[in-house]
Structure 1
Amino acid sequence: YLSFYSVHTPLQGKPDLVAKYREKLSKMPLADGESAFGSEEQVSQQQGKNGPTRKVRIRQRHPVYAAMMESMDNAVGHVLDSLERNGLTKETIVIFMSDNGGLSTSEGSPTSNVPLRGGKGWLYEGGIREPYMISAPGLTKRGTVCHYPVTSMDFYPTLLDLANIPLRPKQHLDGKSLVPLLRDPDSSLPRKSLHWHYPHYSNQGGFPGGAIRQGDYKLIERFEDGRVHLFNLATDLGEKEDLAERQPDKVLTMRKDLHEWYRKVDAKFLRQKPGGPRPWQP
């Protein structure tokens, strides 16, 4: 396991690479009236309609972050080159991914997730959708793309399966082997839903809530007041068109499944502070 800390705060790039990207940026001026930032929705519903908004980066214009990205890219290359030099490429499974979306709403907002909405600390796709690349010798083909939604919990059963070790469902629980998808990117997995649970505030500005993904549909439930949002990611990847009021039956079904999952995993929710507003409970 190799964890890169490079694309994370503190934002510190190699001076020569930072200079390289500052020079590139100087040749890419914004048009008149154009901004590198857009306005995200209210940070907290408890603060009312006039509460603060949080800016979200919508243009990639951060030389230090770009320098850090290049350094990480080179580091990954060093690892892969070393495997090849030592004759281990055909015996090594490589998986590359991130633990969350890019930081676009706080701490310098170094990156943009456009066309995805939000970023790290948010339940929108900008916060939870990441790259997931797998190289499995003798199985995967270069350039193959699979659009089926998966999760990091699938690592363990996938590695067991690729190593011809019997699966251990009591250990990997919600995780599923991705081998069927590696063999056929157009296939599917025996899993109805993916779930997310984020019952707190963070410095990135996201609201406490839960989410469920079923097929192309994604439902987000806010823990402050119980409001829900429904999006069809096949036609609205940026989550701009809320379908909750137009598709109440879909909301009812997905919300029921989400609440059943809460109970199954004993999910925790917001607790009332002395003198504070009473938070919503499912």
Structure 2
Amino acid sequence: MKKQIILIIVIVALMNTFFGCVNSYSSERSKKSPNIILINIDDMGWCDVSFMGSQYYETPNLDALAKDGMIFTNAYASASNCAPSRANMMSGQWPQRHGIYTVGSSERGKNNTRKLIPTKNNETIPEDNILIPEVLKKAGYITCHSGKWHLNNDPTTKGFDINIGGNHSGNPGSYYPPYRNVHSLTAPDDDYYLTNLIMDKTLEFLNTVHDQPFFLYYSPYAVHTPIQPYKPLLEKYEGKPTWNGQNNPNYATMVENLDKQIGRMIKQLKTSGQLDNTFILFTSDNGGHYGVTKQWPLRSGKGAYYEGGIREPMFAYWKGKIPAGTKSETPITNLDFYPTILDVAGISKPINKVLDGQSMLPLLTKQSEMPHRPLYWHFPIYLEAYAKNDTTTFDPLFRTRPGSAIRYGDWKLIQYFENNDFELYNLKDDLSEQSNLAPSNPEKVNELLELLEKWRISTNAPVPTELNPEYIPN
């Protein structure tokens, strides 16, 4: 009997030791594995936030968070419209590796105005392409997608444990009930704004995670069209003086309300103590809609490969790791997010996974600078203009025609495939891209073109050459 009692005591002691070790390991892992939040706003332009200089839009919560981190003044989306930009960011790869070049068909605009047959577009991310949430989930993170997805019908098939409102839709259809394209969310009343409901659900998720590290991809449909005002804020902006071409009160309410929702999230993270161990990246998927908002002095907007279409507001926050109140002029791209997030989480790159960006973590923590490198864009597709006679785009009919672009240092070259046209700009001297220096500086054109051609060959980037028999020259 005594032996049995002693044996039971020993077993209990061993179990307590074992579970104590497990709990200790879990607690230690929780301390060492930071929470990660990736905020990707839809169609928010470079100057659509006050921390980037806007005196029309008001974003006090984002301003405060950005002030406590590092702001990037030369941050880029890797594509000028939403689906390819999001696919590039989530896969860490240029579009020629996964085939998503645009939204919907690559044959946009009138057929008889397209000289070339564009490269066929892939509308969904390939199943075998390993995305950020898949890697994090395998490493023990609980993962949540919140808002717009746009890469297939269901984000839970690509590494997310929880999906809040995400599907293949590129816009919500309506921010007021019924949310036409967001069938999975039900409004609590007939006037409940979608951006607020998405944050409600996001906060519910955050309330469920404590010991386990989490990855939150917060990607609200805002501030994409339709431009529907958040009514409680509308009076504030009606009659507010124009600043630098920004004067749309309906859009301004959407921006400020989005900021308020992010403020709710930050407040809850502070209250729970989670913010101290949370790494945050903030950006937008492409430039602002030029018919709605302006990014002057940047040229054009969403869909164009001028600076207004690809340069984004961006900051990174990580208390105690990223020095507060810092700015960086280093050119970075959302392709850099994948390797950065892996570094932050202490996770190795998946075997055989090609990553086209570079980790920003040494730059963020002031350990070293990013290497001097070219940034590339490839768009073998057509994207029609929003409005006739828009002089900010390549021509009045298209925001972009098939081509590629490179930025290296202060220089930027755009090559169009139809007639092998070139545009060369020195961004240091001409941020608004008004003076095409290609005719007067053929040496720089050839230097950048050589880099561009080598890059296309090394990545098997398709270059359309087949002529469209229906084309009618203007």
Moved over 3 A (4+): 166-170
TM-score, with length taken from structure 2: 0.49
Which of 63, 80, 88 is matched with 2:266 structurally? 80
1:143 deviation in Å?
Answer: 2.0
TM-score, with length taken from structure 1: 0.80
**Residue matched to 2:276:** 90
Which of 336, 343, 355 is matched with 1:173 structurally? 355
**Residue matched to 2:399:** 206
Is 2:286–2:302's contact at 8 Å kept on the other side of the alignment?
yes
Alpha carbons of structure 1 residues 121 and 234: separation in structure 2 relative to 1, 3 Å: same
**Residue matched to 1:275:** 470
> Is 1:221 aligned to 2:407, yes or no?
no
Structure 2: which 5+ residue stretches go unaligned? 1-216, 386-397
**Residue matched to 1:184:** 366
Distance 1:12 1:233 in 2: 35
Is 2:384–2:400's contact at 8 Å kept on the other side of the alignment?
no
**Residue matched to 1:265:** 459
1:214 deviation in Å?
Answer: 0.8
* Aligned residue runs from structure 1 range 38-187, under 5 A: 59-104=245-290, 109-167=291-349, 170-184=352-366
1:174 deviation in Å?
Answer: 1.1
Alpha carbons of structure 1 residues 123 and 171: separation in structure 2 relative to 1, 3 Å: same
Distance 2:433 2:305 in 1: 11
Distance 1:269 1:188 in 2: 34
**Residue matched to 1:197:** 378
**Residue matched to 1:243:** 437
Which of 222, 232, 237 is matched with 1:6 structurally? 222
Higher relative CO (Cα under 8 Å, sequence separation at least 6) belongs to 2
Distance 1:264 1:169 in 2: 20
Larger mean CA deviation between 59-68 and 269-278 belongs to: 269-278
**Residue matched to 1:44:** none
1:173 deviation in Å?
Answer: 1.7
What amino acid is the match of 2:331? P
Is 1:156–1:172's contact at 8 Å kept on the other side of the alignment?
no
Distance 1:10 1:82 in 2: 29
1:191 deviation in Å?
Answer: 5.3
Aligned length: 243
Distance 2:287 2:370 in 1: 24
1:22 deviation in Å?
Answer: 1.2
1:243 deviation in Å?
Answer: 1.6
Is 2:323–2:365's contact at 8 Å kept on the other side of the alignment?
no
Distance 1:169 1:240 in 2: 45
What amino acid is the match of 1:274? P
What amino acid is the match of 2:470? G
**Residue matched to 1:33:** none
Tell me the SS of whatever aligns to 2:219.
Answer: coil
RMSD, aligned α-carbons: 2.1
Is 2:344–2:361's contact at 8 Å kept on the other side of the alignment?
yes
Distance 2:370 2:472 in 1: 42
Is 2:339–2:355's contact at 8 Å kept on the other side of the alignment?
no
1:203 deviation in Å?
Answer: 3.5
CA offset digits 1:6-33 (Å, max 9, x no partner): 11101111122122211325xx5xxxxx
1:154 deviation in Å?
Answer: 0.7
Larger mean CA deviation between 229-238 and 167-176 belongs to: 167-176
Distance 1:189 1:251 in 2: 25
- Percent identity, aligned pairs only, is 40
